[in-house]
Amino acid sequence: MTLSASTGQRLAPLDMLARLVAFDTVSHKSNLELIAFVEDYLASWGVSSIRIPNATGDKAALFATIGPPDRGGILLSGHTDVVPVEGQAWSRDPFTLHIEDGKAYGRGAVDMKGFIALALALVPDFLAADLKTPIHLFFSYDEEVTCLGVVDGIARMGVDLPKPRAVIVGEPTSLELADAHKGIRTFFTTITGAAAHSSKPHLGASAVHGGIRLSAGLVAMADELEARPDGSGRFDPPYDTVHVGKFHGGIARNILADRCDLSWEVRTLPGSDPEDVPARFAALSQQVLERMRKTAPSATIETVMSSDVPGLAPDPGSEAETLVMRLAGRNRTIAVAYATEAGHFQRAGLPTIVCGPGSIDQAHQPDEYITLEQFAAGEAFMRKLMAECRG
């Protein structure tokens, strides 16, 4: 989707990063202002782009190609959303880039507007390089909450969008090659019982008691999984995990609770069955519900899966791995503990690697930053990619 180059405004990588950080794209807010800025910037250089909106139209992903539009190339994937800043002790405005002591501070500076800024700042150079293999840009939304912002765009690749030969997800790995991470599924469970005086529990059914039994079952599953560690030595911790993050129910000590809410998650190693824990939980829910309905026939237990992020499995020798090893000057891969959008690309049959500048240790923190050294290394990485795609 490349047009003839025009005369856009060239922005240095740090200037581009400052522009992107200035957009407050916390996940529960719209990212459309940032997307509009990127569209205008690309258009100023003669590069057309395709906006891929979400169902409600308040967010969008963006896809663009630099180089021959009739073939698959190397896709650079980055998410535009960031985590909240409320409740964090920032010493500076989180949405104003601040450079000090060899670091660039700002929300999203490392996770992951830094990667996006480098890709955008080098657009004029990509155009001038007369690429034989195209570079695709794919900027998504909602990675920090559901990882679903890439799904609609991926479904169009090979249909009305080019199908990439390889995908680089630019999450911060200090430019190490991550070829594996766990998958994650998150769930909300609502238990509805029947209120009664606590002195006569047989006249109702406590939703809190139901929630406790379900939570205890999840904890038992977590203990069981911990006792079955993975033997690869690549993951920390080396086993699937189950976690109950929120538990809320009841209004008074002497009233049987008529409602209880659980928020829980399962993180699975590549190769583990992501259906195992949910299926066992469903069976346990049925047992708990039957017990509650002995005294409260109207009792219900409903579970909704709020996100399903597939894991990334090693794919030794893939085009993505081979290419990024050359670009990053590495001869080994790592596994990371956090989940990314990479699993969605791999699930669609696209060779994928996670590799980007900066450290995940600085992400999601107050005074988030990327070091200027890592930012420069990221630029060098992009320029090596440009040389590869020049042919």
pLDDT digits (tens, 9 = 90+) for 299-337: 999 999 999 999 999 999 999 999 999 999 999 999 998
Among 111, 143, 240, 258, the active-site one is 143
What single letter denotes the amino acid at residue 60? A
3-state secondary structure of 312: strand
Q: Same CATH topology for 13-181+311-390 and 183-309?
A: no
Q: How far apart are CA 59 and CA 342, in angstroms?
A: 20
Helices 372-390 and 319-328 cross at an angle (nearest 10°) of 120
Phi-psi sector, 278: left (phi>0), alpha (psi -120 to 50), beta: alpha
Which tokens go with 362? 């600085």
Scan for tokens 């039994």, then name that residue.
Answer: 213
The phi and psi torsions of 334 (rounded to 5 degrees) equal -130, 165
pLDDT band at 8 (very low <50, low <70, confident <90, very high): confident
Among 39, 81, 321, 368, the active-site one is 81
Write down the pLDDT at residue 289: 98
**Percent of the chain beyond pLDDT 70?**
98
Write down the pLDDT at residue 6: 55
In CATH terms, is domain 13-181+311-390 a member of 1.10.10.60?
A: no
What is the CATH number that goes with domain 183-309?
3.30.70.360
Instruction: Please say whether the beta carbons of 89 and 7 come within 8 A.
Output: no
Q: pLDDT tens, 325-374? A: 999 999 999 999 899 999 999 999 999 999 999 999 999 999 999 999 99
Question: How do the domains of the chain map onto residue ranges?
Answer: 13-181+311-390, 183-309
Write down the pLDDT at residue 5: 43
pLDDT band at 137 (very low <50, low <70, confident <90, very high): very high
Instruction: Please say whether the beta carbons of 193 and 296 come within 8 A.
Output: yes
What single letter denotes the amino acid at residue 118? L
**Of the candidates 76, 29, 27, 35, which has an alpha carbon nearest to the alpha carbon of residue 53?**
35
Span of 12-21, 149-158, 232-241, 248-257 with lowest mean pLDDT: 232-241
Instruction: Please say whether the beta carbons of 305 and 41 come within 8 A.
Output: no
* This prediction's pTM: 0.90
Q: Is 143 a catalytic residue?
A: yes
pLDDT band at 215 (very low <50, low <70, confident <90, very high): very high
Instruction: Please say whether the beta carbons of 33 and 23 come within 8 A.
Output: yes
Q: Is 81 a catalytic residue?
A: yes
Write down the pLDDT at residue 4: 41
